[in-house]
Structure 1
Amino acid sequence: MSYTPLDEMPKIRDSLRATFRKGVPRPLAWRRHQLLQLARMMQENSDAFVEALAADLGRPKLESLVAEVCVVIDRAMICAEKLDEWTKPEKVEVPDWQKSWSPTIHKGSKGTVLIISPWNFPLILTFQPLYGAISAGCCAVIKLSEVSANFGALLAKLLPKYLDQSAYRVVLGAVPEITKLLELQWDHIFYTGNGRVARIIAAAAARHLTPITLELGGKSPVIVDGTFDIDLAAKRILWGKSNNAGQMCVSPDYVLVLRELQDKFVAALKAAHDIFYPEGPLNSTSFSRVVSEAHFKRLNGLLSRTKGEIVFGGKTNEKFWFEPTIVKDVADGDSLLEEEIFGPILPVVPVDSVHDAIEFINARDDPLVLYAFTEDLQAKQAIIENTTSGNLVFNDTVQQLSVKELPFGGVGESGYGRQILKYSYEIFTYERSCVDIPKSAEPSLSVRYPPYTQEKVDALSTQLHIKIPDSAPPSGNGYAH
């Protein structure tokens, strides 16, 4: 795969900016066509995309179709259908004396944007922001990860055949290429990846006061309190952890289980594992591999330093296949709790109560997702009220991504900004307030003009005499137990 020459970067950005300023992506019919072309590209080349993802990640066909290819087809078509609704100017309710001003919110396109996508789900995490940018009437440069080289080469070949190259371009490369892109001014940057790189991107964006969206992941915990069917909980957790070999920003990272249930839970994980992979995961066509030698060595390093007990799994081979691995009796400070695992290792941390689980989570960075398996309504309410996470899921894992009407995104260290359908569209638009004040409004405005008399001061400062309702602080500290 040949990389995009560094001296081409400013030219590409400038050509896209010229396209935007000419108004090429402004008509809704143009945007609709690009969205439907995106869906066609997915549909007509689905086998090629599945093969590229298999070459990069060893991923099973079903996972690539369900989690990436079919999702993009569906959501690009929904965007095309919803364009009129989303882009319609919005009238706002105002007091009677301002109604003649026609207060309106217009949805403005931000301009020329940069989308930086990762290697783990390169298709959906490239096109989810892209369909938002297209819907918003923006032009976009797409910087693909060099790690998923087969996908990158395929998209670089296909995109010009389907989308307008004056508005949408692919850039291939590694650190020098992304560094060059970040030297340029963009109207928005959308980055999916890790916090270390996100800080570099945020610093580069700050130099130009460029708004950014960060989708960062993190250590997404799971609480298991025993009130939900423990066998089903184990099955659903292991499925979420095994998807893409755990290389997913919403993958369950570690499990906090009541101490007396730990062995029962681990046994249920083993039973689900044996059903999923009767011939063993290293011989299964339903399991993915670790993406690269560097990530493979990182995972082995984490596992070699754990003080927990490896219950099952841990086997690997020279082609970077790594079995789902369960480690119990993991304690605070363990190597498996240092960083996002991003692989098929699942630490099990015993705790004495849901309250202790909440305290454990709150002592760490805010996660992208918090999972909890419980049918206890008080436990659910305590988790809702006393934790912070980008998303909260009860009694399943990963499946929240299929609810396309909900926003998806992080908080704090797990990122900021929201995406999926209309939320992706809104990332790349801004609300442009507009009023049109007629001559007939002049009588109501005359009080603003000099000379300023006491009568005018009294007329324009009535809030000083409004009765403010009595109030008092609540009793207790507000913490739900």
Structure 2
Amino acid sequence: MSSSSTPVEEISKIREALVKGFASGKTKNVQYRKEQLIHLGYLLHENRDRFVETLATDLGRPTLEADFLEINGTISEVQEAYKNVEKWSKPESPPFTLNWFFMRPKIRREPKGVVLIIGPFNFPLWCLLGPLAGAIAAGNTVALKPSEMSSATADLIAELIPKYLDPEVVSVVKGGIPQTSKLIEYPWGHICYTGSQRVAKIIGTAAAQSLTPVTFELGGKSPVIVDKSADLKLAARRILWGKCANAGQICVAPDYLLVLREVEEPFIKELRAVYNSYFGANPAKSDSLSRIISPQHAARIKKLVDETKGNIITGGEVDVDQRYVAPTIVRDVANDDSLMSEEIFGPVLPIIPVDSVDEAIKFINSRDHPLVLYIFAQDRKVKEKVFASTNSGGAVANDVVLHPAAAGLPFGGVGASGSGYTTGKWGFNTFTHFRATLDVPGWLDKIALSHRFPPYTDKKLADLKKVVSYKLPPRPGTHAVTASKRRWGLWTLLALLAAVGALLKKRLGSS
């Protein structure tokens, strides 16, 4: 444990303060939530340069990538929550049904309580403070656990949060395994975790003990299909950018390519041209390439590259001490290759040739559901076929990486790539309890609901069936079946007469 880590024995006090903050009721006030969101926005805006510096320290991230991929996106999440929190928080009426209309059904949107958000090293702002915006907008108090691997950014977050936000609403716990292990011992209103499948299993097991709901964003091996109808120059430019941005340490980065054989050679030619235009003859000296988070992760990627049986056509160099992995393209990769054994999470791009789109679909469907699937094609039918025949958290045609920032779209995984959503209104919903309410007037008992009370009789059963009768559609291949007619007209008339009678009685009694 580093000297700047939160002492494990202090975690219970931090949680107690958040419980007290929630119990005060102040986060139920939407205007108060908006104030906290404004402060969070200014925390990012006023310290933009400092965050650029910490992201460069932690990840070697160029300023353009820090701004475009992380800081701007996080501020956009805060802005969207601020602009929409009043609308998102309003009670909602379910679709009209006559049987329930007079009971005034409503759906109240209420906070889940004290929630825990555990962030990753690769996007230490967007994947931590983005969900925080949704949690604040939903009215929760929040414990934040930034990744200890992005230590400079974690230090800055821990410094700024208490300066900008109410410490009874948001608190930061710094540290590694001991702190995380202690945090997940407690029951929470919700846990949101972004990171690896291995750690997610540990968190999920602990959360199950207290029946705490969880949201997992876990990444995985996201495939890219390059069809014969693709714009190959466009595909090469966008794929290589997405693979090398943040040195490939992006959960939605393209992990491997499935390229139709008939366009493999011209596509590789385009990749080589783009590679040279991006990084030149010596990528190690490029000012447009991030670094791997740690020597340990660099050594892991080096092992994958060293053990590949594919043909390395560009890159391949790794300097573990400097956390440098050259952008690397490997062709003729087999399904059982080292590069296909796990999520690469680095700037290494395996190419697997396939004979058809059908073969590519079969290959994808034989593996875990990815966080996102990409298809480069101009043929509309090909794109639709790929989308309809596969399962993934997201599906994007003719670009990569951008969809988590698209306003209004849910971002999340499916199966092994995660569960739940963390952006925009979908993130707000993650941290919201949808509470069903009814307000049932007494006069309804005078019409039909009195039949539910003992003693039960055949007449009461028959009367109740008239109220709640239904009509199923005909079975496939058969003619329509005539069912009992609903007596909506009588029910409506009786309900309206009872409602008018109750209203008149109330008015006469007050006069």
* Normalised-by-shorter TM-score class: over 0.9
Aligned equivalents of 1:465 and 1:365: distance in 2?
A: 42
Residue from 108, 116, 122 that aligns with 1:114: 116
Structure 1 residue ranges (4+ consecutive) displaced by more than 3 angstroms after TM superposition:
461-468
Residue 315 of structure 1 and its aligned partner are, at CA, apart by 1.9
Residue from 448, 452, 477 that aligns with 2:452: 448
Residue 465 of structure 1 and its aligned partner are, at CA, apart by 7.5
2:96 is matched by which residue type in structure 1? V
Aligned equivalents of 1:97 and 1:316: distance in 2?
A: 69
The answer on whether the counterparts of 1:215 and 1:415 sit within 8 Å (CA) in structure 2 is: yes
1:189 is matched by which residue type in structure 2? I
Aligned to 1:309: 311
The answer on whether the counterparts of 2:298 and 2:318 sit within 8 Å (CA) in structure 1 is: no
The answer on whether the counterparts of 2:252 and 2:372 sit within 8 Å (CA) in structure 1 is: yes
Aligned to 1:227: 229
Residue 253 of structure 1 and its aligned partner are, at CA, apart by 0.1
Q: Deviations over 1:53-110 (max 9, x none)?
A: 0000000001111111122222212211111100011112333343221110000100
Asked if residue 372 in structure 1 is aligned to residue 375 in structure 2, the reply is yes
Point out the more displaced range, 64-73 or 50-59: 64-73
The answer on whether the counterparts of 2:231 and 2:378 sit within 8 Å (CA) in structure 1 is: no
Residue 244 of structure 1 and its aligned partner are, at CA, apart by 0.3
Aligned equivalents of 1:404 and 1:464: distance in 2?
A: 43
Q: Deviations over 1:279-314 (max 9, x none)?
A: 532111111011101100000000111110001111
Aligned equivalents of 2:477 and 2:293: distance in 1?
A: 57
The answer on whether the counterparts of 1:126 and 1:142 sit within 8 Å (CA) in structure 2 is: yes
Residue from 155, 158, 162 that aligns with 1:156: 158
Aligned equivalents of 1:93 and 1:437: distance in 2?
A: 17
Asked if residue 358 in structure 1 is aligned to residue 358 in structure 2, the reply is no
Q: Deviations over 1:232-275 (max 9, x none)?
A: 11111001101101001000000000123222211111111111
Residue 448 of structure 1 and its aligned partner are, at CA, apart by 1.1
Residue 458 of structure 1 and its aligned partner are, at CA, apart by 2.3
Asked if residue 339 in structure 1 is aligned to residue 342 in structure 2, the reply is yes
Aligned to 2:211: 209
Aligned equivalents of 2:133 and 2:17: distance in 1?
A: 20
Aligned to 2:501: none
The answer on whether the counterparts of 1:274 and 1:280 sit within 8 Å (CA) in structure 2 is: no
Aligned equivalents of 1:295 and 1:260: distance in 2?
A: 36
Aligned to 1:142: 144
Aligned equivalents of 1:285 and 1:89: distance in 2?
A: 51
Residue 472 of structure 1 and its aligned partner are, at CA, apart by 5.3
The answer on whether the counterparts of 2:373 and 2:395 sit within 8 Å (CA) in structure 1 is: yes
Shift of the 184–467 alpha-carbon distance from structure 1 to 2, 3 Å rule, reads: closer
Asked if residue 403 in structure 1 is aligned to residue 406 in structure 2, the reply is yes
Q: TM-score, normalized by length of structure 1?
A: 0.96
Point out the more displaced range, 203-212 or 266-275: 266-275
The answer on whether the counterparts of 1:115 and 1:126 sit within 8 Å (CA) in structure 2 is: yes
Task: Map 1:18-417 onto structure 2 (within 5 A).
Answer: 18-278=20-280, 280-317=282-319, 318-417=321-420
Aligned equivalents of 1:373 and 1:255: distance in 2?
A: 10
2:26 is matched by which residue type in structure 1? V
1:134 is matched by which residue type in structure 2? I
Structure 1 gaps, min length 5: 474-481
Aligned to 1:477: none
Aligned equivalents of 1:237 and 1:182: distance in 2?
A: 38
Shift of the 315–28 alpha-carbon distance from structure 1 to 2, 3 Å rule, reads: same
- CA RMSD of the aligned region, Å? 1.5
Asked if residue 471 in structure 1 is aligned to residue 476 in structure 2, the reply is yes
Q: TM-score, normalized by length of structure 2?
A: 0.90
Aligned equivalents of 2:463 and 2:226: distance in 1?
A: 61
Point out the more displaced range, 399-408 or 155-164: 399-408
Aligned to 1:457: 461
Aligned equivalents of 1:77 and 1:307: distance in 2?
A: 48
Asked if residue 435 in structure 1 is aligned to residue 438 in structure 2, the reply is yes
Aligned equivalents of 2:18 and 2:117: distance in 1?
A: 14
Residue 156 of structure 1 and its aligned partner are, at CA, apart by 0.9
Aligned equivalents of 1:280 and 1:455: distance in 2?
A: 89
Aligned equivalents of 2:411 and 2:121: distance in 1?
A: 19
Aligned equivalents of 1:123 and 1:472: distance in 2?
A: 57
Shift of the 453–371 alpha-carbon distance from structure 1 to 2, 3 Å rule, reads: same
Aligned equivalents of 1:13 and 1:159: distance in 2?
A: 16
Aligned equivalents of 1:95 and 1:396: distance in 2?
A: 44
Shift of the 469–40 alpha-carbon distance from structure 1 to 2, 3 Å rule, reads: same
Q: Deviations over 1:339-379 (max 9, x none)?
A: 00000000000011000000000000000000000122222
Paired positions, count: 473
2:32 is matched by which residue type in structure 1? W
Aligned equivalents of 1:353 and 1:98: distance in 2?
A: 54
Residue 21 of structure 1 and its aligned partner are, at CA, apart by 1.0
The answer on whether the counterparts of 2:302 and 2:318 sit within 8 Å (CA) in structure 1 is: no
1:398 is matched by which residue type in structure 2? V
2:190 is matched by which residue type in structure 1? H
The answer on whether the counterparts of 2:106 and 2:437 sit within 8 Å (CA) in structure 1 is: yes
Secondary structure, aligned partner of 2:259: strand
Aligned equivalents of 2:236 and 2:434: distance in 1?
A: 45
Secondary structure, aligned partner of 1:252: coil
Residue 452 of structure 1 and its aligned partner are, at CA, apart by 1.6
1:287 is matched by which residue type in structure 2? L
Shift of the 279–311 alpha-carbon distance from structure 1 to 2, 3 Å rule, reads: closer
The answer on whether the counterparts of 1:282 and 1:316 sit within 8 Å (CA) in structure 2 is: no
Shift of the 435–120 alpha-carbon distance from structure 1 to 2, 3 Å rule, reads: same
1:43 is matched by which residue type in structure 2? H
Residue 203 of structure 1 and its aligned partner are, at CA, apart by 0.2
Identity between Structure 1 and Structure 2 (%): 46
Structure 2 gaps, min length 5: 479-511
Of the two, which has the highest radius of gyration?
A: 2
Residue 470 of structure 1 and its aligned partner are, at CA, apart by 2.5
Residue 278 of structure 1 and its aligned partner are, at CA, apart by 2.7
Residue 18 of structure 1 and its aligned partner are, at CA, apart by 1.2
